[in-house]
Amino acid sequence: MTIASDPIVLFGAPRSGTTFLTELLNAHPEVHITHEMRLFAWAHETLVKSAKINRLLVTHREEFLEHATKYSAGMIRDFYAAQWPHVRYWGDKNPHYADVWNRGCLDTIRKIFPGAKFIHIIRDGRDVVASITRRKHSDGRSWADIETAAWSWHDHTAIGAAFGRKISPGSYHEIRYEDLVADEHLAARSLFGFLDIPLHPAVEDFCLQQRVERSSFSSPTRDLSAGDAGRSEWSQALSAEQQATVMHILAPKLAELGYATSPEPHA
């Protein structure tokens, strides 16, 4: 089987459904999206960020980087072909490709792979904050405090959407988490249509199974067996004070993305 020249790159703020979306794509027998291998972040760090350190590259810097960028595509593609020889379509899922610490990473990927397909999943930031703060480290601490979680969603979403606006619609696809879990089959048809990959019966079976019983793919912070995976719980999970803090940070971006920002937060 001939592997595709360019990858599928899946990203979105943490706790936005990137893992679920990866599982949906990987239900197709000719698709393999790795789970946060973060290979493209390594490429960005190597070809862009580290390259600016004078003790690493002094002379012929631009010439070498142009050479390295040109040949890194084949190296990365060959790795996937060797590891997963049954796969035709390949790529990586990593929420942090749109992280402030990886700023410019999406552009680097596109420079290495001009034909890459980018999929950006967006979820209501208030529910993302609730999920992040309810997720615990092994010592019982929350993943992040309220403000950190809110800015994380804001920055991931802003960076990802800004990147999408400047490239062609044929290279960038935005999907809402709420739409995905409301109708997986409809979302899958749109998604695989964007990728120009025929929808496989195995993907349809995956979607049907999710309607029957939700799978727990990424340590959910709520009971998915209760029914509607898309239900919003942020107003129950966050105190009135926390809600006010979140809305102060997120309201403009939520409104820009079409999420309702009223009524006012409540306890």
Q: At what angle do helices 240-256 and 146-165 cross, to 10 degrees?
A: 0
Q: Give the 3-state secondary structure of residue 176.
A: strand
Q: Give the 3-state secondary structure of residue 29.
A: coil
- Side chain identity at 206, as an amino acid letter? F
Distance from the Cα of residue 186 to its chain's centroid = 19
CATH superfamily of 8-215+228-256: P-loop containing nucleotide triphosphate hydrolases (3.40.50.300)
What does the pLDDT read at residue 219?
A: 56
On the question of a cis peptide bond just before residue 114, with omega within 30 degrees of 0, the verdict is no
In whole angstroms, what is the distance from residue 92 CA to residue 90 CA?
A: 7
Q: Across all residues in the chain, what is the average pLDDT?
A: 88
Residue pair 146/245 in contact (Cβ under 8 Å)? The answer is yes
Q: How confident is the model at residue 99 (pLDDT cuts 50, 70, 90)?
A: very high
Model-level pTM? 0.89
Contacts of 126 (CB under 8 A, 6+ apart): 232, 234, 235, 238, 243, 246, 247, 250, 254
Q: How confident is the model at residue 224 (pLDDT cuts 50, 70, 90)?
A: very low
